[in-house]
């Protein structure tokens, strides 16, 4: 197997075996969504209206889950040294770790989102649109998160710092993700405009994330 | 192949760890780096593979693959074992072999060389410290790389495992590899040269005002660096040599 | 055979291996009778055949709650009496209880769509049942996260006992709050309000579900004991290999 394939398989294996990675993310997602009706009241019409925003917010928080350990565990057990001195460019190594994290944390959220959407009384069109915007938008969340994870790699309380660093950076993704979902459901803005911007944000973060994270790792480790 | 350090210096946390360090090892040779705790043994190894920034001097590799950096031709065995407890012994080894670029790997033979063949399917979490160390060492055999940088390789090993390690190192030297090992005690290589970092006189605090890289700022230069220094005449640099500075 | 004798895991394994075929057979027979009776039970004059979802919905709700009650007793067994099989029983019950609770939620949603016009409403009964499901998932996640079984057992036992507060909330939610979900009809003061033509198939189905729970739970306990033995043997193998 080639180096990057081996890394992808290893990281996915680890996140499935250790503490049930995918289960944790979906469970967190479900719990956050469940809390909202307790806070705003069980008004189904209102929940339907703010549903896409709730699901996006919950997905944002859930996809940051465990991200702070992405490089930290490799740092603590010495694996990161070997990853850094590898023949494979560090940017690709970082990107592959991001992909593995998204596949085990982000993808289950998208699968679970329509089911959880039922709790918020979303109709099928809304469910589909929402899943589509999450599919396009969550990779951006993971890859922006990579930067924070790399900066917080050697810190003991990295989790809190990661959230503080990363959450402001994810604001544009949240804005256009929710805007696209709402545009398709209630209008009057056409769906295409915010959705195209969301795609652009994701593509940009797929490039910027690994480069910034790799640079941060190199600085941290020296 | 020959790895040379010329006037190498390293600062960490605002102090000189070592400065004016010279050594040279050729294919088939081993160099043990000794010294008290904090003398900079680990920093030296890490600076060779670029995990610690070099503050002064140069590293030259003659006769290596010109396309690759020194780190990319080296194995580094650090203090930590770089193992994942949730993966099995064989999975851990197969991952590093694949990641470090081996096309195929005979897992059984590599594990057998360090006496872990029977435990191949156990999670690495169940291993003792010595077994973890041996599993970590197994990757040196799984992927061929000419330079071995070993940080306290024998620290948690029992006598028989130390012999296995010595055997692996002997095989590596016979295949014209070279070994640089930071160590407190003997590691079973009788003809290894020794580099004593304690001999590189007192380390001073770096004066923030001065450029730490200039010759004059280095407190005491490499007057006596054990037996290894006699080969330290600065080598010529034909095209294709790699220099880290 | 007393509970003290069964505390020996080897005896328990022997007992489980003998009992499982019988339990499994009884489950199949009970389901055969129960499903047949449920299919032939009269339709509701308002709901039509949709009412038959109830024969799955109500027993799975009971079993979901019974699962947590069983875990709570086992939690006491772990914390107070330190019974060696208590945490095995608790760990084995969690996924099964979660599955029954999920079945209850799913069948309820499928019934709610034609009857209420929506898959879900945030009323007290439904919400407290959903909270039970989340509690189950939380306990399962806890078991999976802590590597050492005995440490995980104590943490899970405390969580289970705290979570048991949800059980009376589920049971009395329909009485305490004005909910869309109907009130109690089977177990209530003054006797059941259901006609025997519906009640009897329901009770047979409940028996079938209970037998199914017992079969699955016993098998899961056996597997958990074997899994722990494998873990012990592998630890021994690692330490014996020097």
Residues of A with CB under 8 A from a CB of B: 1-3, 5-7, 9-10, 13-14, 17-18, 76-79, 81-88, 221-222
Question: What does the pLDDT read at residue B226?
Answer: 36
pLDDT surpasses 80 at B77: yes
Question: What does the pLDDT read at residue A21?
Answer: 64
> Nearest Cα to A144, choosing from A110, A164, A178, A167?
A167
Give chains near B: 3+ CB pairs under 8 A: A, C
Domain boundaries, chain B: 2-244
Domain boundaries, chain C: 19-234
Q: Contact C119/C109 with Cβ under 8 angstroms?
A: yes
pLDDT surpasses 80 at B78: yes
Q: Which of A24, A47, A118 sits opposite C109 (nearest CB)?
A: A118
Q: Which residues from A are below 8 Å from B54, CB to CB?
A: none
pLDDT digits 0-9 by tens, A159-180: 788 888 899 999 999 999 999 9
Cα nearest neighbour of B51 on chain A: A222
Mean pLDDT of C206-228: 92
Give chains near C: 3+ CB pairs under 8 A: A, B
Most confident of A80-89, B26-35, C93-102: C93-102
Residue C241 near chain B (CB below 8 Å): yes
Residue B116 near chain C (CB below 8 Å): yes
A103 to A83, A97, B184: CA distances (angstroms): 21, 10, 45
Question: What does the pLDDT read at residue C98?
Answer: 94
Residue recorded with tokens 């610690």: B52
**Of residues A208 and B115, more confidently modeled:** A208
**Of residues C178 and A101, more confidently modeled:** A101
pLDDT digits 0-9 by tens, C142-180: 888 887 788 888 889 999 998 888 888 877 776 777 667
Question: What does the pLDDT read at residue B215?
Answer: 36
CA distance linking residue C111 with residue C108, whole number of Å: 5
Distance from CA of C148 to the nearest CA of A (A): 12
| Structural domain total, chain A | 1
Assigned architecture for domain B2-244: 3-Layer(aba) Sandwich (3.40)
- Tell me which of C94, C98, C109, C120 to substitute to probe the interface with A (most A C-beta atoms closer than 10 Å): C120
Yes or no, beta carbons of B74 and A85 under 8 Å apart: yes
Domain span including residue A42 = 3-221
For residue B174, what are its two tokens? 């016979």
Of A38-42, A176-180, B235-239, C218-222, least confident by mean pLDDT is B235-239
Q: Contact C151/C130 with Cβ under 8 angstroms?
A: no
> Nearest Cα to B149, choosing from B50, B45, B73?
B45
Flag whether the ipTM exceeds 0.90. no
pLDDT digits 0-9 by tens, B172-223: 888 888 999 888 877 777 777 888 877 654 444 444 333 333 333 333 333 3
pLDDT surpasses 70 at B241: no
Question: What does the pLDDT read at residue A175?
Answer: 92
Q: Which residues from B are below 8 Å from C239, CB to CB?
A: 128
pLDDT digits 0-9 by tens, A120-129: 888 888 888 8
pLDDT digits 0-9 by tens, C4-39: 656 678 888 888 888 899 999 999 999 898 888 888
């Amino acid at each position: 197997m080639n180096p990057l394939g081996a890394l992808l398989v290893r990281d996915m294996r680890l996140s499935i075996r250790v503490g049930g990675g995918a289960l944790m993310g979906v469970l967190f997602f479900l719990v956050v969504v469940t809390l909202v009706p307790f806070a705003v009241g069980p008004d189904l019409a209102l929940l339907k209206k703010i549903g896409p925003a709730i699901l996006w917010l919950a997905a944002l928080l859930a996809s940051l889950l465990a991200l702070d350990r992405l490089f930290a565990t490799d740092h603590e057990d010495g694996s990161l040294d070997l990853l850094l001195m590898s023949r494979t460019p560090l940017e690709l190594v970082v990107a592959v770790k991001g992909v593995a994290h998204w596949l085990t944390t982000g993808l289950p959220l998208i699968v679970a989102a329509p089911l959880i959407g039922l709790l918020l009384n979303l109709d099928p069109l809304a469910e589909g649109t929402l899943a589509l915007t999450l599919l396009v938008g969550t990779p951006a969340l993971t890859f922006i998160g990579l930067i924070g994870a790399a900066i917080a790699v050697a810190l003991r309380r990295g989790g809190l710092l990661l959230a503080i660093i990363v959450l402001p950076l994810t604001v544009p993704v949240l804005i256009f993700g929710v805007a696209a979902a709402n545009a398709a459901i209630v209008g009057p803005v056409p769906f295409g405009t915010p959705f195209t911007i969301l795609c652009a944000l994701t593509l940009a973060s797929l490039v910027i994330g690994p480069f910034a994270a790799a640079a941060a790792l190199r600085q941290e480790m020296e | 192949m020959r790895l040379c350090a010329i006037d190498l210096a390293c600062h960490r946390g605002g102090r000189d760890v070592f400065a004016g360090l010279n050594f040279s090892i050729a294919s088939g040779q081993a160099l043990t780096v000794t010294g008290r705790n904090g003398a900079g043994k680990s920093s030296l190894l890490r600076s060779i593979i670029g995990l610690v920034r070099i503050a002064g001097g140069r590293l030259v590799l003659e006769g290596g693959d010109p396309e690759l950096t020194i780190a990319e031709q080296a194995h580094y065995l650090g203090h930590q074992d770089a193992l994942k407890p949730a993966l099995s012994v064989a999975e851990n080894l197969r991952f590093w072999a694949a990641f470090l670029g081996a096309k195929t790997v005979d897992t059984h033979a590599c594990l057998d060389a360090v006496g872990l063949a029977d435990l191949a399917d156990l999670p690495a979490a169940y291993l003792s410290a010595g077994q973890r160390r041996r599993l970590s060492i197994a990757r040196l055999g799984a992927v061929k790389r000419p330079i071995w940088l070993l940080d306290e390789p024998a620290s948690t090993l029992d006598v028989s495992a130390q012999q296995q390690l010595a055997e692996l190192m002997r095989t590596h030297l016979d295949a014209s590899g070279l070994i640089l090992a930071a160590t407190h005690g003997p590691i079973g290589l009788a003809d290894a040269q020794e580099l004593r970092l304690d001999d590189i006189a007192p380390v001073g605090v770096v004066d923030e005002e001065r450029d730490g890289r200039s010759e004059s700022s280095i407190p005491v230069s490499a007057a006596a660096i054990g037996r290894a220094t006699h080969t330290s005449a600065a080598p010529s640099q034909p095209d294709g040599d790699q220099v880290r500075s | 055979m007393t509970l003290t004798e069964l505390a020996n895991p080897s005896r328990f394994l022997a007992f489980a291996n003998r009992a499982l075929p019988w339990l499994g057979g009884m489950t199949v027979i009970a389901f055969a009778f129960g499903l047949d009776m449920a299919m032939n039970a009269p339709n509701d004059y308002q709901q039509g055949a949709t009412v038959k979802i109830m024969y799955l919905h109500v027993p799975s709700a009971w079993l979901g709650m019974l699962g947590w009650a069983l875990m709570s007793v086992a939690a006491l067994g772990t914390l107070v009496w330190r019974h060696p099989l208590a945490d095995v029983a608790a760990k084995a019950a969690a996924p099964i209880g979660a599955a029954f609770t999920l079945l209850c939620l799913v069948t309820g949603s499928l019934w709610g769509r034609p009857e209420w016009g929506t898959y879900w409403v945030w009323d007290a009964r439904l919400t407290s049942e959903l909270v039970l499901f989340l509690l189950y998932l939380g306990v399962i996640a806890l078991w999976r996260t802590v590597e050492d079984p005995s440490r995980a057992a104590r943490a899970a036992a405390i969580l289970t006992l705290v979570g048991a507060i949800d059980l009376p909330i589920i049971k009395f939610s329909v009485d305490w709050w004005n909910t869309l979900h109907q009130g109690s009809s089977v177990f209530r003061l003054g006797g059941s309000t259901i006609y025997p033509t519906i009640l009897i198939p329901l009770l047979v189905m409940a028996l079938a579900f209970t037998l199914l729970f017992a079969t699955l739970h016993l098998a899961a306990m056996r597997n958990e004991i074997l899994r722990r033995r494998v873990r012990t043997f592998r630890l021994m193998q690692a330490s014996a290999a020097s």
